[in-house]
Structure 1
Amino acid sequence: MNKMKVLIADKLSEEGMELIKREFEVEVKTGLSEDELVNIIKDYDALIVRSATKVTRRIIENSRLKVIGRAGVGVDNIDVEAATERGILVVNAPCSNTIAACELTLGLMFSLVRNIPQANQSIKEGKWEKNKFLGTELYRKTLGVIGLGRIGREVAIRAKGLGMNVIGYDPYISKTTAAQYKIRMTNFEELLKTSDIITIHTPLTRDTYHLIGYKEFEMMKKGVYIINCARGGIIDEKALYDNLISQKVAGCALDVFEKEPPENNPLLQLPNVIATPHIGASTKEAQKMVSIEIAEEVINALKGEPVRSCVNALTNTFQKEYTI
């Protein structure tokens, strides 16, 4: 009997690939276009991607896939609706990059308020501009956390340890849950109006696309700092640019952009913008963990065993076959 076949379309750490190879036939083909994937996808039972490969309806409808695995948290690069219609399980790895993304958020927060990248560049250019880089302390500042999932909660815990006042907004988290982490829940408008620093930790969905635009910036304090290590598109980049120019926003740190790579993005020309190339999960530990986590989920799905991180609600026969 032929082994089921798994296509790995984006780079995956060796630890995860070795797990899958023990059970199934594995092929690694990265950098494929949509047309190239459409032409070969019918040969595979499972597809594993990261954020680079877009799994479109066209790819899905030309497949015999049983499961699509996203090695990471966000699944906005996968047409989950199309997969669900065809009875294809979509699983992700929601736990593995939590600490990596949390720590990058904190690093960017310190960099913003103390002008660390700018001061580093200045001294490397042979300058000694000690008085130019007057910073702001985080102690007793109000941090507004939008999205209190795993990453948002870890950021909040560490911010409390820095002596910050932490408030949170998440329509899916109860006040009881938030209280366990000593986070005061508030509504969206109050968070915007009272936060000194705002950090975003929500998925990109129809509801969160341009969640922060001109109207929301208008509500914020003058001199607010913004951090986005979640997904590009949650902030309206044109509105952000205009509010940075007017200095309503004192500075922002972005690990994600609406278009990646962000070619000719005017935000990158501003001195009060810190940018990184979507490295939220880029630690050795997270890369190993995400590889193992998604490998285990795909293996369980193909073997008809329970999975822990299904992101689509399947029905009828397929729902009986898997524990969701």
Structure 2
Amino acid sequence: MTDFTCVIAQPIHQDGIELLHEAGIRVVHTPAPDPVSLGSVLGNADALIVRSAEVNRTMLDRARRLKLIGVHGVGVNAIDIAAATEHGVIVANTPGSNAQAVAEQAIALMFAAARRVPLADRTVREGDFFAFKYSVPMIELEGSTFGVVGFGNIGQRTARMAKGLGMRVITYSPNAPDSALAEVGVKRAQSLEVLLGDADIVSIHVALNEQTHNLIGRQELARMKPTALLINTGRGGTVDEIALAEMLAEERLAGAGLDVFAVEPIPYDHPLLALDNVVLSPHNGGSTATSMSRTARAVAQHVVDMSRGQLPTQVLNPLVITNQEAP
């Protein structure tokens, strides 16, 4: 056993924990992922593994030995990366490890919203069999247009699946190279507005930042067809949820499928919870057994590398490394 200590803030797959143990790393689990509980155990930590837990400047001030924050997944919105950089703490995430699972979740939500699966299930259980069958309209997907907003790893995988279903696929992703679109056989929309007006299903796959906050707002939603579906497995803050709820309630949009929310967990009084034409899941798009094992091992490997004096892959703040190498 080395004196290298890793704090795990939120549950990860046992395969990742075993990798840490095999490397002789001391593992500490926090009782809760809140800043107070987490901050109380960071004083002696060399590495920290988080999924969505907040890591702020105050916590980093107390983490005198901390060398690495390993992110289980892609999203780093809850981490103060600027403060981590100032404290000389490397932040490394695990992009791609859950891409297939999230892409499958996007397609699953599309099917569930198009065929009103949750409502169908509930009405069968309540004995309202024929009322649902003869009165609730549903959407057939083959031949429809699938719009992908953001053509990274997950967006590309989702596009491939949609094409396999016989859908026409377009994307709005200004930074995506033409070669990536050509490889999947996807056409580029010249603007977000064009995509929104053309697509029958819009699937969001962008990171959350200043440019993408409320990227799909009231005006953008109004450009969509009233028969269209909105799917979001990217980040909750990219969609104006209040405007979306209003559009769904007024049937100016046929349906939606959401795995992510601006505030998680979603507040109990959120207007989306009262609607039958939206399918909700608790940000578990990447949580298949296979992807959880893959992601846990990837983030654990970052920790193992650091414990051996090696740099992890996927460093998000390379300035830390530059500062350490400077004379």
TM-score category of the 2 structures, normalised to the smaller one: over 0.9
2:134 is paired with a residue whose SS is coil
TM-score (norm 2): 0.93
Kindly provide the CA deviation profile for residues 150-180 of structure 1, in whole angstroms up to 9, marking residues without a partner as x: 1111000010011101011112211222111
Aligned to 2:14: 14
Q: 1:30 to 1:100 in 2, by over 3 A?
A: farther
Aligned to 1:238: 242
Point out the more displaced range, 217-226 or 291-300: 217-226
Deviation at 1:88, TM superposition (A): 1.2
Aligned residues: 320
TM-score (norm 1): 0.94
2:251 to 222, 247, 252: 247
Deviation at 1:274, TM superposition (A): 0.9
* 8 Å CA contact 1:225, 1:252 repeated in 2: yes
Q: What is the percentage of aligned positions where both structures have the same residue?
A: 38
Deviation at 1:100, TM superposition (A): 1.1
Q: 1:58 to 1:113 in 2, by over 3 A?
A: same
2:161 is paired with a residue whose SS is helix
The 5-angstrom pairing of residues 37-116 of structure 1 reads 37-51=38-52, 53-63=53-63, 64-116=65-117
1:210 to 211, 214, 232: 214
Deviation at 1:245, TM superposition (A): 2.0
Q: Give, in whole Å, the separation in 1 of the partners of 2:184 and 2:309.
A: 36
Q: Give, in whole Å, the separation in 2 of the partners of 1:258 and 1:194.
A: 26
Deviation at 1:318, TM superposition (A): 4.6
Letter in 2 for 1:165: R
Does 1:301 pair with 2:301?
no
1:131 is paired with a residue whose SS is helix
Q: Give, in whole Å, the separation in 2 of the partners of 1:269 and 1:7.
A: 39
Q: Give, in whole Å, the separation in 2 of the partners of 1:306 and 1:69.
A: 12
Q: Give, in whole Å, the separation in 1 of the partners of 2:323 and 2:307.
A: 12
Does 1:155 pair with 2:188?
no
Aligned to 1:193: 197
Deviation at 1:22, TM superposition (A): 2.5
2:170 to 167, 170, 183: 167
Letter in 1 for 2:36: D
Q: 1:177 to 1:82 in 2, by over 3 A?
A: same
* 8 Å CA contact 1:67, 1:302 repeated in 2: no
Q: Give, in whole Å, the separation in 1 of the partners of 2:5 and 2:293.
A: 22
* 8 Å CA contact 2:149, 2:171 repeated in 1: yes
Q: Give, in whole Å, the separation in 2 of the partners of 1:248 and 1:13.
A: 42
Deviation at 1:11, TM superposition (A): 0.5
User: After TM superposition, what 4+ stretches of structure 1 lie above 3 angstroms from structure 2?
Assistant: 315-321
Kindly provide the CA deviation profile for residues 121-147 of structure 1, in whole angstroms up to 9, marking residues without a partner as x: 111111222212331111111111011
Does 1:287 pair with 2:292?
yes
Aligned to 2:147: 144
CA RMSD, 1 decimal: 1.8
Aligned to 2:260: 256
**Structure 1 runs not aligned, ≥5 long:** none
